[in-house]
Chains A and B, each alone.
Chain A
Amino acid sequence: MSQTQSAAQRATQSTDVTIENLSLSFGTTEVLKGIDLTIGRGEFFTFLGPSGSGKSTLLRAIAGFGPRPSGRILIGGEEVTRLPPWKRNLGMVFQSYALWPHMTVRRNVAFGLEERKLPREEIRRRVEAALELVGLLDLAERRPSQLSGGQQQRVALARTIVVEPRVLLLDEPLSNLDANLRVQMRREILDLQRKLSLTTIFVTHDQEEANTTSDRIAVLNDGVLQQVGSPVELYDRPANLFVAGFLGTANVLEGRVEAQAGRPLFRTADGIEVPLIEGPDGPCSIVFRPQNLVIVAEGGEPAGGAGAVKLSGVVRHREFLGSIIRYAVEVAGNVILVDDSHQRGQVTLDAGEPADLFFNPDEVVALAG
């Protein structure tokens, strides 16, 4: 009862984050370049990008760490760009937890409340509630060094949420856990976030982690924001080649689009032709996913319906991946990956065999440039 109430209180505290034209440099190297973002109240939002893309730097700038950025950061409408970290009331969970080794679990969790000078009785009550929430009440008197990685992770979470931060910031919180624990912890974090409806920014380089948890994802590369959207949007409608390649496997062909008989027709230099549903004029790349192609032996039954595009090539490699078989097929000098779902006893094509590929033009994304 009291817990639901305080969860409700937190929900009202939880707030949105706006980042306007944020740039940041370490010395002369510019690490963040003009980032614009809006993160909604209660949203589970993820910064996704390869290592070194600036995710941590951006998260730390929001928390108030690192060199001072240019641009603006607003939390719930309040500009915090010039506030020191201790005045921002944002809860950050560090990649390696940063638990204080000289304090017990209880003292670790109580720290933020003590700094807020709350009455001792309230501190005790809230610390216990937080430890209860992460299921560690019985380990309260332990030292961090006496806990497993997952337990340390929970202490770090409890220590952060106990102060009821306006936003929860998580920097690759799962990267120090082994694979099984990682899946479990990511569900726990998501549950906790939903329970508290706490605006959460989650940093990861792992697209699966991002896809399974996030309401929306911001893809970063080289300090530049590439695209913002839900996991499905990013996968199905990548805004550029980087996003297409970073989220899942993509076939990319480069060429030009010309109108032919009033319909856009994509053509590569090697003569591959793909009619498009819609597409920009001029130089263009098309992107399509391996699982959207059907592979048949040369001259086999056409697949993919009436409007399907057909490409002919030669199988170069075949990889058995369990649920699918992935073929690399060379078509006019381009290697195209095709996934064929695997059934027992299915006939497979060998390297060197000619094959026909079919796919539906509406699975193709055309990207100008």
Chain B
Amino acid sequence: MTSFSRRQWAPGAVGLLLAAFLVVFLVVPVVKVIFVAFQDPNTGAVTLINFVDFFNTSLFRDSFVNSLYVAGTSVIVASVIALPLAYFTTRFNFGGAVLIQTLGIIPLIMPPFVGAVAMQLLLGPNGSVNLLLDEWFGINIPFMEGLNGVVLVESVHYFPFILINLSAALNNIDQAMEESAQNLGSSGLRLFRRIVFPLAMPGYVAGASLVFLKVFDDLGTPLLLNINTMLAPQAYLRISSIGISDPMGYVISVILVAFSLFSLWVSLLTLRGKDYATVQKGGGGLRKRDLRPWEKAGCYAVVVLILLLVLSPHIGLMLLSFGTVWSYSVLPDAYTVDHYLRVFGTASQYITNTLLYAGLAGLADVILGTAIAYIVWRTGLAGRKWLDYVGMGAVAIPGVVLGIGYLRTFYDFQVPVIDKPLASWWVIIVVALAVRRLPYALRACVAALQQVSEMLEEAAENLGATKARTVWRITVPLMSGGILAGFVTSFATASVELSATIMLVSAESDAPLAYGIYEFMQSASGRGPGAALGIIAVVIVGIGTYVSHRVIERGRRERAPDVALAAGV
């Protein structure tokens, strides 16, 4: 329950600031993009002409079909990878939880485009695997041919979304439910069809729609694999080559947003009222059984194969970063640390920029996230829920769209003192990263705040602490684990984000890691250093994640029992 409605001016002022930030840096740019898409480029009148033009151009029609095809096929391939893993880990006594947790981090800490080039070297027509297949069996499998490459890279990367949601759903099926069905004479396939399938479906659909969204919006992977006939690359290319007045980029943006919203809506719809993460409290799930030895061997074979596939971008990237020359051979000819030396010597600004941008963005996100969470859950401000909705809404905005929106909105705005358009000042990159990652941090902060019993805050107020002092001394320290988790998620994902930044980088010296990787990977000679940068990115993110994990665990151990007690009544 919220406190007295008086003395709301302070949260009110903060709320207004937050709203202003979200409006200026999220709502206005996106609305502007949508508006331009429906505007006649010459007269400025509202029209559908741009959409007609779009669908009358065969290149765009192809791009549209290709994007749908790639996203749809990726969902299928990702499902094929995720289903056996989910099944093994939920039905058998099998080191499942650890596996899922480990795999689950992968899509977060490294964007798919980083590994794309490495995958080409491993699985491409002249890659290691095909060279071996050719030598042994005389065959060549076009893993990376055209759109196949995009599908493979994306599905290997994003299948954990399906795995996690599906496993959570399966774990959530009560053993009693299974038993009562058996008790009523249902078993085997029927049991699966009548009980397991319907109960697991929402989790699957939620994961699948997330994969669809991510793949549909992805810019970096097709760009690096040199596939331009897809929507996101087309939007980028139109804007970067023709200019920000070309309407096609905006039309594509509207289509991207529409599909993103649609997949989010599907995923929310199926997940409504089914909060697996909180319902599931150990012990649940289907009855697990031990595996017979040969079954175990089979399971492990499948799992190892999948793991190899999942880790192939990382393995390839590692080889590439340490290899001298690697083409038409199974492995690089020789190994060297030259690429790393070159990166640290000439390209270290990418690293420092990334640490700066991602650090600032992560910081901004947890401050925004904490403030929004507090206002939504602890005050009675009118319209406070909208802060939450709009902040979360950033999930539905593809990076390309936000980038285009910023270019369009802030190009005319000269920043005082430095006398540069806001759209080409490095700070705008930080803002874009912060807005894009806000949903992660916001969810983490809300979850953290909900763990803090309001009674702990009331006790402080009762002892003479004002609301502000209470937030500072009680609420924020108690949220610190969640805030840190939010920071790391924002930081880690921001430090490898490409799609919005690629549009906003106006000078090489302002560019972050992801952009550097992209630049390097453009030329054959740059692949080595590009891979080295990729590995550095993975290491930065990995260290950040590990450290925060340790810190959070320690904090939790110190005080967990009492938090539970205080929240218990």
Contact = CB atoms under 8 A, between A and B. Distances in A.
B464 A163 contact: yes
Interface in A75-103: 82, 84-86, 89-92, 94-102
A101 B459 contact: no
Contact of A99 (B7, B562, B568): B562
23 contacts: A63-B462, A64-B4, A64-B461, A65-B461, A66-B1, A84-B3, A85-B458, A86-B461, A89-B464, A96-B569, A97-B565, A98-B456, A98-B458, A98-B566, A100-B459, A101-B558, A101-B563, A111-B463, A111-B473, A112-B463, A143-B559, A152-B565, A160-B463
Given A84-B4, A86-B464, A102-B480, 18 more contacts: A64-B462, A65-B458, A84-B7, A86-B462, A96-B568, A100-B478, A101-B478, A101-B559, A101-B563, A101-B566, A111-B460, A111-B463, A143-B558, A144-B559, A145-B559, A145-B562, A159-B463, A163-B463
Interface string B541-562: 0000000000000010011111
A108 to B, nearest CB: 9
A344 interface: no
B4 A68 contact: yes
B4 A95 contact: no
Contacts of A94: 455, 458-459
A102 to B, nearest CB: 5
Contacts, number: 113
A352 interface: no
Nearest to A116: B464
A96 B5 contact: no
B462 A92 contact: yes
A152 B566 CA distance: 11
Interface in B1-54: 1, 3-7
Interface string A145-162: 100000010000001100
B453 interface: yes
Nearest to A65: B458
Contacts of A65: 3, 458, 461-462
Contacts of B466: 84, 86
A84 B460 CA distance: 12
B454 to A, nearest CB: 9
B420 interface: no
- Enumerate the 4 nearest inter-chain pairs by beta-carbon distance, A residue then B residue, closest first: A112-B463, A101-B559, A145-B562, A98-B459
B465 interface: yes
Given A26-B1, A65-B3, A95-B569, A85 B462 contact: yes
Interface string A41-79: 000000000000000000000011111100000000000
B463 A98 contact: no
Contacts of A319: none
Contacts of B6: 68, 82, 84
Nearest to A163: B463
A160 B462 CA distance: 9
Contacts of A115: 460, 463-465, 469
Interface size class of B (residues with CB under 8 A): 35 or more
Nearest to A111: B463
Contacts of B459: 92, 94, 98-100, 159
Contacts of A176: 569
B566 A97 contact: yes
Contacts of B284: none
A89 B461 CA distance: 10
Contacts of B559: 101-102, 143-145
Interface string A103-126: 000000001100110000000000
Interface residues of A, number: 36
Nearest to A102: B477
Contacts of A144: 559, 562
Given A84-B466, A115-B464, A116-B464, A96 B455 contact: yes
B474 interface: yes
Mostly, the A contact residues are loop
A96 B465 contact: no
B4 A96 contact: no
B551 to A, nearest CB: 13
Interface string B91-127: 0000000000000000000000000000000000000
A68 B5 CA distance: 8
Interface string B438-481: 00000000000000010110111111111101000110011010
A65 B4 CA distance: 7
Nearest to B2: A67
Contacts of B3: 65-66, 84-85
Contacts of B465: 86, 111, 115
Interface in A237-265: none
Contacts of B464: 86, 89, 112, 115-116, 163
A67 B5 CA distance: 8
Nearest to B569: A96
A89 B464 CA distance: 7
Contacts of A101: 478, 558-560, 562-563, 566
Given A84-B461, A115-B465, A100 B456 contact: yes
A158 to B, nearest CB: 12
Nearest to B555: A102
Contacts of B7: 84
Interface in A132-179: 143-145, 152, 159-160, 163, 176
B553 to A, nearest CB: 15
B461 A85 contact: yes
Contacts of B460: 100, 111, 115
B442 to A, nearest CB: 23
A111 B473 CA distance: 9
B241 to A, nearest CB: 55
Q: Give the one of A100, A111, A116, A160 with max B CB within 10 A.
A: A100
Nearest to B560: A145
A96 B458 contact: no
Nearest to B464: A115
Q: Give the one of B461, B478, B480 with max A CB within 10 A.
A: B461
B560 to A, nearest CB: 7
Nearest to B478: A102
Given A66-B1, A67-B1, A98-B455, A143 B463 contact: no
A99 B453 CA distance: 11
Nearest to A147: B562
Contacts of B453: 96, 98
A47 to B, nearest CB: 17
Contacts of B474: 100
B380 to A, nearest CB: 10
Contact of A145 (B4, B455, B561): B561
A66 B6 CA distance: 12
Interface in B172-220: none
Given A84-B4, A84-B7, A102-B559, A90 B478 contact: no
Contacts of B469: 86, 115
A307 to B, nearest CB: 52
A90 B459 CA distance: 11
Contacts of B560: 101, 145
